[in-house]
């Protein structure tokens, strides 16, 4: 048991470590009908559109729940019941998107590449040329199961050229990686409060092309996750349709204010890039190899091969690192033993270097000498 009382630093890509101003914004109770709370909601919606330059074409609809609730609401509310969704998969979140669409009765096709292979615009061009029945394409911008970045602008251009619609799960990229709705044709962008904007978890949102959403009445097969209804109600009353997560909304507004004060998306990307670099270099000096090639790695979360040493066990490793003040994330690959380290949240490169020290210390406590995985040793 650790005896220190400091909160651990979360190197998990949501929930993540938030700033003190974000936490203290939750120390107040809000009435959901009160004008002061509704002004916060309006401010959040405006700031989210600012980040992706969506004001001219899109609207922002917040939704209660974790990120998946917003993905489910967006798909269920925008894909017609007789639509056909092509999901581009290279990890667990792509599979989840396909699964939820299928469960809602939509026709779904999957195009799957390996966990370390991005989908390309050429892939999508070929798939759409071959199948005219595909109405929508679903893409995971940064696939958080590894940290791989898929080439959004190129894919968006191809989907638009074929006259289909693009739904982007930008959960772990929104606010950090560039998304420009004035330059990139995207119908729906989905993200949540507890990722790169650095709010607490508890609400998501979909940024939907206005002309699309206007035609979505009655499409949803779910009452609670009806994005069109939420939007119409919010426009009419300024309120959320059902009980909002008031404290989360207030903290999210504070986090958005800090995001803007820091310098917006470019500044956040610069900090996360510095975090990722500090992590990558520190881990390499300990002997770790990262799973992804640097050219396709997003500065959001890194996947590392587990140490080859027979004394390694993730549960013990996790506990040792946690007792030193840092929370790691298990790997999400079925074929390979890995673990993940997030580099997002209200932290900088010095916290990443401290995390590397804690990891090195944990390895020593476990008596682990061989860190480099066998496969990587053979190549090197
Ligand atoms: C976090 C995340 C989600 C949503 O997951 P929840 O557990 O519902 O918050 C969806 N897609 C991606 C790519 C994510 O990183």
Distances (CA, A) of 306 to 59, 195, 315, 331, 378: 43, 25, 12, 9, 15
Whole-number Å distance, alpha carbon 78 to ligand 1 midpoint, is 19
Q: How far apart are CA 17 and CA 91, in angstroms?
A: 25
Whole-number Å distance, alpha carbon 93 to ligand 1 midpoint, is 7
* Cβ of 64 less than 6 Å from ligand 1: no
Residue 342, beta-bridge partner list: 301
* pLDDT in the model for residue 6: 83
Q: What single string gives the DSSP state of each residue in 283-341?
A: HHHHT--BSS-GGGB-TTEEEEEPP--TT--HHHHHHHHHHTTEE-EE---SSS-EEEE
**Comparing C-alpha atoms, which of 252, 312, 327 is closest to residue 45?**
252
* Cβ of 67 less than 6 Å from ligand 1: yes
Whole-number Å distance, alpha carbon 34 to ligand 1 midpoint, is 31
Nearest ligand 1 atom to the CA of 201 is 9
Q: How far apart are CA 164 and CA 158, in angstroms?
A: 9
Cis before 351? omega within 30? no
| Residue owning the nearest CA to atom 4 of ligand 1 | 67
Q: How many CB atoms lie within 10 A of CB 115?
A: 22
* pLDDT in the model for residue 160: 98
What is the pairing mode between strands 203-209 and 188-192? antiparallel
- pTM for the predicted model, two decimal places: 0.96
218, 48 contact by CB (below 8 A): no
Q: How far apart are CA 378 and CA 289, in angstroms?
A: 12
Whole-number Å distance, alpha carbon 171 to ligand 1 midpoint, is 6
32, 358 contact by CB (below 8 A): no
* pLDDT in the model for residue 372: 83
What's the pLDDT tens digit per position in 125-158?
999 999 999 999 999 999 999 999 999 999 999 9
Nearest ligand 1 atom to the CA of 140 is 13
| Residue owning the nearest CA to atom 3 of ligand 1 | 67
**b or e along 194-221 (b: 16 or more beta carbons within 10 Å of the residue's beta carbon)?**
bbbbbbbbbbbbbbbbeebbeebeebbe
* pLDDT in the model for residue 335: 85
Residue 138, beta-bridge partner list: 87, 167
Whole-number Å distance, alpha carbon 206 to ligand 1 midpoint, is 13
| Residue owning the nearest CA to atom 12 of ligand 1 | 171
* Cβ of 207 less than 6 Å from ligand 1: no
* Cβ of 119 less than 6 Å from ligand 1: no
3 state SS of 71? helix
List of E strands, the chain: 9-10, 58-64, 84-89, 107-112, 136-140, 142-143, 148-149, 165-169, 188-192, 203-209, 301-305, 326-327, 329-330, 338-342
Residue 88, beta-bridge partner list: 111, 139
Q: How far apart are CA 115 and CA 93, in angstroms?
A: 11
Whole-number Å distance, alpha carbon 174 to ligand 1 midpoint, is 12
* pLDDT in the model for residue 110: 98
What's the pLDDT tens digit per position in 214-224?
999 999 999 99
* pLDDT in the model for residue 87: 98
Whole-number Å distance, alpha carbon 35 to ligand 1 midpoint, is 31
* pLDDT in the model for residue 184: 98
CATH of domain 21-261: 3.40.640.10
The residue to mutate among 10, 66, 171, 198, having the most atoms of ligand 1 within 8 angstroms of its beta carbon, is: 171
Distances (CA, A) of 111 to 24, 67, 127, 199, 369: 44, 23, 9, 33, 40
* pLDDT in the model for residue 1: 53
Q: 9 CB contacts (<8 Å, ≥6 apart)?
A: 17, 325, 326, 327, 345, 347, 351, 354, 355
Distances (CA, A) of 60 to 44, 48, 131, 192, 287: 9, 7, 31, 12, 45
> pLDDT tens track of the chain, all 380 residues?
555 568 999 999 989 999 999 999 999 999 999 999 999 999 999 999 999 999 999 999 999 999 999 999 999 999 999 999 999 999 999 999 999 999 999 999 999 999 999 999 999 999 999 999 999 999 999 999 999 999 999 999 999 999 999 999 999 999 999 999 999 999 999 999 999 999 999 999 999 999 999 999 999 999 999 999 999 999 999 999 999 999 999 999 999 999 999 999 999 999 999 999 999 999 999 999 999 999 999 999 999 999 999 999 999 999 999 999 999 999 988 889 999 999 999 999 999 999 999 999 999 999 998 898 766 555 44
* pLDDT in the model for residue 380: 45
CATH architecture of 9-16+264-366: Alpha-Beta Complex (3.90)
Domain segments of the chain: what residues? 9-16+264-366, 21-261
* Cβ of 93 less than 6 Å from ligand 1: yes
Q: 128 CB contacts (<8 Å, ≥6 apart)?
A: 86, 134, 137, 158, 159, 162, 164
Check for a shared fold between 9-16+264-366 and 21-261. no
* Cβ of 91 less than 6 Å from ligand 1: no
Which pair of structure tokens corresponds to residue 339? 């673990």
* Cβ of 68 less than 6 Å from ligand 1: yes
3 state SS of 2? coil
């Amino acid at each position: 048991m650790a005896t220190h009382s400091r909160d651990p630093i979360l190197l998990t890509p949501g929930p993540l470590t938030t700033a003190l101003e974000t936490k203290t914004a939750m120390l107040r109770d809000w009435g959901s009908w009160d004008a002061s709370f509704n002004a916060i909601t309006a401010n959040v919606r405006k700031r989210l559109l600012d980040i992706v330059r969506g004001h001219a074409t899109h609207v922002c609809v917040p939704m209660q729940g974790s990120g998946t609730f917003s993905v489910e609401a967006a798909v269920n509310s925008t894909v017609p019941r007789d639509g056909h969704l092509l999901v581009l998969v290279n990890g667990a979140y792509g599979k989840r998107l396909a699964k939820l669409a299928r469960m809602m009765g939509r026709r779904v096709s999957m195009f799957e590449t390996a966990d370390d292979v991005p989908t390309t615009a050429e892939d999508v061009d070929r798939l759409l040329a071959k199948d005219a029945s595909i109405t929508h394409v679903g893409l995971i911008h940064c696939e958080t199961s590894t940290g791989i970045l898929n080439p959004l602008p190129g894919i968006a251009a191809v989907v638009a050229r074929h006259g289909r619609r693009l739904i982007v799960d930008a959960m772990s990229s929104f606010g950090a990686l560039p998304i420009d709705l004035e330059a990139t044709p995207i119908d729906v962008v989905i993200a949540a409060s507890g990722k790169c904007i650095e709010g607490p978890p508890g609400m998501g949102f979909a940024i939907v092309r206005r002309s699309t959403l206007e035609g979505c009445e009655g499409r949803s097969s779910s009452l609670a996750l009806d994005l069109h209804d939420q939007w119409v109600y919010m426009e009419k009353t300024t309120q959320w349709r059902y009980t909002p997560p008031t404290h989360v909304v207030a903290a999210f507004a504070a986090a958005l204010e800090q995001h803007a004060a820091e310098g917006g998306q470019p500044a956040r990307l610069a900090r996360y890039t510095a975090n990722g670099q500090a992590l990558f270099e520190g881990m390499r000096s300990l002997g770790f190899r990262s799973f992804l090639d640097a050219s396709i790695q997003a500065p959001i979360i890194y996947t590392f091969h587990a140490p080859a040493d027979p004394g390694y066990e993730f549960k013990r490793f996790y506990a040792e690192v946690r007792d030193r003040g840092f929370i790691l994330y298990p790997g999400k690959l079925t074929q390979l033993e890995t673990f993940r380290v997030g580099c997002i949240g209200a932290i900088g490169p010095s916290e990443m270097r401290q995390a590397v020290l804690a990891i090195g210390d944990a390895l020593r406590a476990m008596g682990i000498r061989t860190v480099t995985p066998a496969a990587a040793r053979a190549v090197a």
